[in-house]
Chains A and B, each alone.
Chain A
Amino acid sequence: EPEVTQTPSHQVTQMGQEVILRCVPISNHLYFYWYRQILGQKVEFLVSFYNNEISEKSEIFDDQFSVERPDGSNFTLKIRSTKLEDSAMYFCASSDELAGVTDTQYFGPGTRLTVL
């Protein structure tokens, strides 16, 4: 069964550094999402992406964040200048149709980002 994959599984970085988290969604999916989960807290929506542009974003997704689909398979989340509070598990998800109405989101295993 196809799965969403994410790399790396764990990323350690220094505060102020840029990081890129990578995701490979399921191949025929059209909608892509990023979420984060700070340790011990809820899963928080960051952004959804469709047709090569952001369709929705949350208040968390400020100018420090950007997403890109550089080729036909990868979907990346970039944090330009990491802060300590960016330390979290970051989940990628993809869906075939508008999630919820006709299809579900499939989640990746997550990337644990640690900012020192």
Chain B
Amino acid sequence: AQRVTQPEKLLSVFKGAPVELKCNYSYSGSPELFWYVQYSRQRLQLLLRHISRESIKGFTADLNKGETSFHLKKPFAQEEDSAMYYCALLYNFNKFYFGSGTKLNVKP
């Protein structure tokens, strides 16, 4: 069965520090993975997806099939990065499985 695990409910870092939000997945097929972000009082929005291999707002995520991971990284966290981050797996035709989310708190 498919599963997405985000082991940290809360991650607190200081501004300028590196940040890594962990995501591990379980899926027998070829995974398509995403990171979604929800800023305070805003709607859920796509941050990035592994297939496009892009960097958005300084964030990157590399799919590691050997470790079944898709960790989100940023070398220097900013206060405006504080938000809820959800890792999500697309499977079957058009179904999404979301992780439980990690709240990132960037302290000044």
Write the nearest CB–CB distance from A62 to chain B, whole angstroms. Answer: 16
Q: Which of A31, A56, A58, A107 contacts B44 (CB under 8 A)?
A: A107
B49: A residues at CB distance < 8 A: 100, 104
Interface segment among A18-26, A41-49, A68-76: the answer is A41-49
Q: A91-B44, A107-B45 are in contact. Are A56 and B100 (CB under 8 A)?
A: no
Q: A91-B44, A107-B44 are in contact. Are A41 and B93 (CB under 8 A)?
A: no
- Is the Cβ of A107 less than 8 Å from the Cβ of B86? no
- Is the Cβ of B94 less than 8 Å from the Cβ of A108? no
Write the nearest CB–CB distance from A82 to chain B, whole angstroms. Answer: 23
Q: Does A64 make an interface contact (CB < 8 A)?
A: no
A68 and B9 alpha carbons, distance in the complex (Å): 35
- Is the Cβ of A44 less than 8 Å from the Cβ of B43? no
Write the nearest CB–CB distance from B88 to chain A, whole angstroms. Answer: 8
User: Interface on chain B toward A: helix, strand, loop, or mixed SS?
Assistant: strand
Instruction: Give the number of residues in B that approach A within 8 Å (Cβ atoms).
Output: 21
B98: A residues at CB distance < 8 A: 35, 42-45
Instruction: List B6-34 residues whose CB lies under 8 Å from chain A.
Output: 32, 34
Write the nearest CB–CB distance from B89 to chain A, whole angstroms. Answer: 10
B32: A residues at CB distance < 8 A: 100-101
Closest to B45 in A: A107
- Is the Cβ of A101 less than 8 Å from the Cβ of B51? yes
Residues in chain A within 8 A of chain B (CB atoms):
4, 31, 33, 35, 41-45, 48, 50, 55-56, 58, 91, 98-101, 104-110
